[in-house]
Chains A and B, each alone.
Chain A
Amino acid sequence: MWNFFEPTEARWYGWTLDGASLWMRKNGEEWRFALQSIPFKQIEHDAHDPDSTEPPEAAEVSLAVARGKKVALRPHPSPTPYLVAARNEVKIHPGTEAWFTIALPPLFRVELESGAVLYEASPFTTTTTWFGDKTSGNLCLSLPIELDPECKNENGELVDSSTRESLERAAHYLACRSLIRCKIAVKNHSKEALDVKRLAIFTNLMNVYEKDDTLVSDTVVITATADGSLQNNIDDAGTKHLKKVHSAPKSGLNEVLIQKGVSFLRSIAGL
């Protein structure tokens, strides 16, 4: 789905992206693109390779002029951080760690083999939210996904229908091929319990890979340290061997990421 292919001249191709659609047509050096985006909440589990298709009817058509034969649709994490909220308050006790898996809506670029970007689009629209206080912080994409942890040393049991519903919704998003599965580990090495209400996911160091027909990212590791600070870094141990479809704009995979938002995360997390 994310591989390069050589489109036939003057023919429309369409990608189905879990409810959204992206069209492309090559005519010599002229490339035409159209997009039908959907709200992230309305995502449907249906994505497949580009097909020869009818031209888009209502969608606005963009034009690019470039020389090239082969083209691919490549998913990239949004440069704007993602923000997810915990369904209920998640308390992580000292010495324990919680694991979360969420689905991130990427932005898509149509790229030539040379790396030139012909078109860029975000097929899944989300609302925005603010991570920080009212005087400074980060604008984030607000994901309608609720964090449900799989904690080590803690047993979470499904007790009510709302929990089940929430987990089913999360599973629905995770099954979508055009979303990026992202694992988050929150480790509490401090001496106090850590309340996680909202998590901002910065993507500067995040690589994206293809795994069994799905998209996965490096694991985001957030560590509350003994001195009370909060560190955010990327762990690529489990993904190194996979085929990379997006390289992080910043190098240094295990480089500690000190972000402006971390201080807010710290205050929000209650450390």
Chain B
Amino acid sequence: MNTTVLPGFLSKLFQDVSTPEFWKKAIGIVVAAALILIFFRVLQMLVARAMKKGVPEQRAQLIRKAIRYTGWVIAIVSVLQGFGVNLSALLGAAGIAGIAIGFAAQTSVSNLISGIFLISEKPFQIGDVIQVNDISGIVLSVDLLSIKLQTFDNRFVRIPNESIIKTNVINLTRYPIRRLDIMVGVSYEADLHKVSDVLKDIAAKNLNALDNPEPLIYFDKFDASSINILFGVWYEQSKLVDLRNSIIMDIHARFAAEGIEIPYPKRDVYIKRSSL
């Protein structure tokens, strides 16, 4: 083979490849690289086990990945050095390429830095339910470039970290209890003291509603066709669906039983008969 056109280290490599010393050396290098990878794999497992209890999942995941990639970098560098590759020239070339790639990959770098901020700031963790704009779901992973969500209608959503940093994120499960606010409208004829008592009783009888903190009853405003009341009921975060369904049915049934009208906009149409 004509090796004159190849770089120096490659020419030497092709010249040496037929010698038994080369294969001895190659086996040694591969074994060393494998040992390095095994070492880092074991280290990763030990660190993962140590972090199981005390470290949040996303931070643990990041540390595990860092160890794995470090292992790979060291193994590759060892292999290249073993084969006589001049790494300083390679790193120099990589630096120039890095600047070029950096310009081309501004978004990725932005996501990467945002990811580091997200991991250090910890606004949410794996397993939390978050809402980002109109998307809400369970956090599956917090990676360096993006977070992954599983929505409640079972879709997989990837949101770039840059978007998360720039927008408002609502963590729906940060606190163990939440308040469900329901706007209830009653007619102007309704006895508001009675309405208040009935709402308190509805909350007291609903097994999904907490009796402490007490439910909020807030007379909001005189609206066009109703007096609006904000009815806030506290619940343990996992009971949202049960509470929302049951309490709306309870209000509807109980108001009907108590003769409390829930008005809706009505329009009376008078037909004017012209005399012929």
Residues of A within 8 A of B (CB): 83, 125, 127-131, 134-137, 139, 142, 198
**Does B212 contact A142, Cβ atoms closer than 8 Å?**
yes
Decide: A139 and B211 in contact? CB cutoff 8 A: no
Choose one: A127, A135, A136, A137; the contact of B209 (CB below 8 Å).
Answer: A127
By a CB distance below 8 angstroms, the chain B residues around A83 are 212
A130 touches B175 (CB 8 A): no
Question: Is there an interface contact between B211 and A129, defined as CB atoms closer than 8 Å?
Answer: yes
- Chain B residue at minimal CB-CB distance from A136: B176
| B234 at interface, CB cutoff 8 A | yes
Residue tally, chain B, CB below 8 Å to A? 15
Decide yes or no: A134 and B207 within 8 Å by CB, A129-B212, A139-B236, A142-B212 being known contacts.
no
- CB contacts (< 8 Å) of A125 on chain B: these are 207
For residue A136, which residues in chain B have a CB less than 8 angstroms away from its CB? 175-176
- Find out whether the CB atom of A127 lies under 8 angstroms from the CB atom of B204: yes
26 pairs from A and B in contact (CB 8 Å cutoff): A83-B212, A127-B206, A127-B207, A127-B209, A127-B211, A128-B207, A128-B208, A128-B211, A129-B211, A129-B212, A130-B176, A130-B177, A130-B210, A130-B212, A130-B213, A130-B236, A134-B175, A134-B177, A135-B175, A136-B175, A136-B176, A139-B176, A139-B236, A142-B211, A142-B212, A198-B212
Q: Which residues of B contact A134 (CB under 8 A)?
A: 175, 177, 213
Cβ–Cβ < 8 Å partners of B213 in chain A: 130, 134
Which residues of A have CB within 8 Å of B211? 127-129, 142
Which A residues touch B212, using CB under 8 A?
Answer: 83, 129-131, 142, 198
Interface residues of B in 220-259 (CB under 8 A from A): 234, 236
Q: How far is the CB of A254 from chain B (nearest CB, A)?
A: 28
A134 to B232, CA, bound (A): 14
